[in-house]
Amino acid sequence: MPSVFIKTYGCQMNERDSDAVAAQFIACGYTLAASEAVADVVLLNTCSVRDAAEQKALGRMTNVAATIRKQGRQVVLGYLGCMAQSRGRELLGAGVNLVLGTQKLHRAAELADELLAGRQTTLCDTEAEAGSEAQIRDHVLALNDSRPVVSAYVSIMQGCNQRCTFCIVPQTRGEERSRSIEDIVAECRGLVARGVKEITLLGQIVTSYGRRLIPVQDGKSPFVQLLEAVHAVEGLERIRFTSPHPKGYGTDLVEAYARLPKLCESAHLPVQSGSNRVLKLMHRGYTRERYLELVGQLRTAQPRIGLGTDIIVGFPGETGEDFAQTLDLVQRVQFDSAYVFKYSPRKDTPAAAMPDQVPVEVREERHARLLLAVTEIGQARLQRLVGQTVQVLVEGPSRKNPARLEGRTRSNQIVVFEGTPRHVGQLLDVHVTRASAVTLYGDPAILNPD
Ligand code: 5AD
């Protein structure tokens, strides 16, 4: 049997896409290889959001191609996803014989077969394909062992129409296209039947879900209607979603937290900057005042809500005063977690051509300062949970210490504690005894007996 190895870069959407591609290969008779060195098909599912992500994939491919050349094996080497979409044919050569764009992932196994059988020598397909958003639906679930998969991602849409001036995604993922509610619910039901207890709904901007497809009903946006439909799936315990856009976060969605008990108190709400001037240059469509108001509304609806964000430092034209506004915003909000990125100019984006590009040293200095601030805030937030009892969905053995179990709270913090494999998939109340920088620990003595 031929085997496939898929390496993923970037976001959860990419992880989900890779899983669907792996499921497709399995359906075509492949096994999943343990490493590139033994696989017949090696695929890198790429990310283009920052230059560093592209460089990582390019470097890895160079190494893999060199190893395979030495081995003298006949292998399919391919790029999938965003960088494949934006660079296309130029990626072929030096051992690489397959390039597949973001709307062609469902054809990966079929095209790899063509190459393996020698019917083609190279293939590149980056065309748009109607209906491709509905093709990311198969799941591998139990990957390399038979442990049940408790938490799964479901892709609800593809593409983005927002056109933030820094972002390459509208070019790589295309226009927004949503799947139907029925299709998504059917996938969720199938997952629950296979033991999944928690589903995270995924899209570039989930708050835009179904905008042109489904009318607003009783003041509820299509996305809130979808949440209600998924909420009704019997046996599902928890729902999450990522990422919403602050602009699309209406009161219907804020209220959903108070109304839908399976909806976890957690939101990843990218703010990008705390300066109104920069937010405008970024084309974000909200002000810092509106963002702070939204945070207030969410904390009123669910006081224990966990809040995460993404922030870019060194956007073109960002002054010391603009950056001070970002520092001020993170102090006001007190995020539980935050990803801080140095601005990376992307090909054919409006921001790349803007005046006053910020020198690399300044970007680095701001990155370090902001990272320190958000890390301190996050640690203090985690520390506040010590002494409390939290609900944990047990996902499996701890990644750091497999003798222990690991799961997440409803507000998305990782908790490590002792238990037995039969606890996997259960919702447990765990008493938090201590917190490290990013992890909570529960006392086994106080763990529920069953
Ligand atoms: N430079 C740096 N960070 C970026 N992001 C998107 N585009 C860029 C860029 N050009 C960040 C944003 C987004 C996250 C996924 O990546 O913060 O929310």
Three-class secondary structure of residue 267 per DSSP: strand
Check if the beta carbon of residue 2 is closer than 8 Å to that of residue 89.
Answer: no
E strand intervals along 314-419: 337-342, 389-397, 405-409, 414-417
* 50 alpha carbon – ligand 1 mean position (Å): 7
Residue with tokens 């709307």, as numbered in its chain: 103
User: Which residue's alpha carbon is at the smallest distance from atom 7 of ligand 1?
Assistant: 167
Q: What does the pLDDT read at residue 444?
A: 61
In what side-by-side order are the strands of the sheet with 238-242?
151-155, 198-202, 238-242
Separation CA 212–CA 442 (nearest Å): 46
Residue 379: predicted pLDDT:
97
The pTM assigned to this predicted structure is 0.96
Atom number, ligand 1, closest to the C-alpha of residue 167: 7
DSSP tag of 389 = E
Pocket of ligand 1, candidates 50, 54, 165, 268: which has the most ligand atoms within 8 Å of its Cβ, to mutate?
A: 50
> Low-confidence residues of the chain, pLDDT below 70?
142-147, 444-450
> How far is residue 229's CA from residue 25's CA, in Å, rounded to a whole number?
30
> How is residue 212 written in tokens?
């042109």
CB 150 within 8 A of CB 425: yes
Return the exposure string of 172-207: e unless at least 16 CB atoms fall within 10 Å of the residue's CB, then b: bbbebbbbebeebbebbbbbbeeebbbbbbbbbbbb
Please tell me the number of Cα atoms within 13 Å of 61 on its side-chain side.
Answer: 29
Is 77:96 a contact under the CB 8 Å cutoff? yes
CB under 8 Å to 173, separation ≥6 — which residues?
82, 85, 102, 158, 159, 160, 204
C-alpha–C-alpha distance, residues 448 and 432, integer Å: 13
Nearest ligand 1 atom to alpha carbon 342: 2
Pocket test for ligand 1, best of 341, 348, 371 (most atoms within 8 A of CB): 341
CA of 121 to the centre of ligand 1 (A): 36
| pLDDT for position 144 | 43
Helices (H), 154-204: 169-173, 181-193
The answer to whether 154 touches 140, Cβ cutoff 8 Å, is no
* Distances 84 to 36, 46, 97, 173 between C-alpha atoms, Å: 19, 7, 12, 11
- Burial pattern 208-221, b for ≥16 Cβ within 10 A else e, equals bbbbeebeeeeebb
* Residues flanking ligand 1, CB < 6 Å: 49-50, 166-167, 270, 272, 310, 312, 341, 343-344, 346
Distance CA 287, CA 162 (A): 16
> Pocket of ligand 1, candidates 163, 165, 166, 172: which has the most ligand atoms within 8 Å of its Cβ, to mutate?
166
Q: Which of 167, 335, 358 to mutate to test the pocket of ligand 1 (most atoms within 8 A of CB)?
A: 167
Locate the ligand 1 atom nearest the alpha carbon of residue 166 and give its number.
Answer: 10
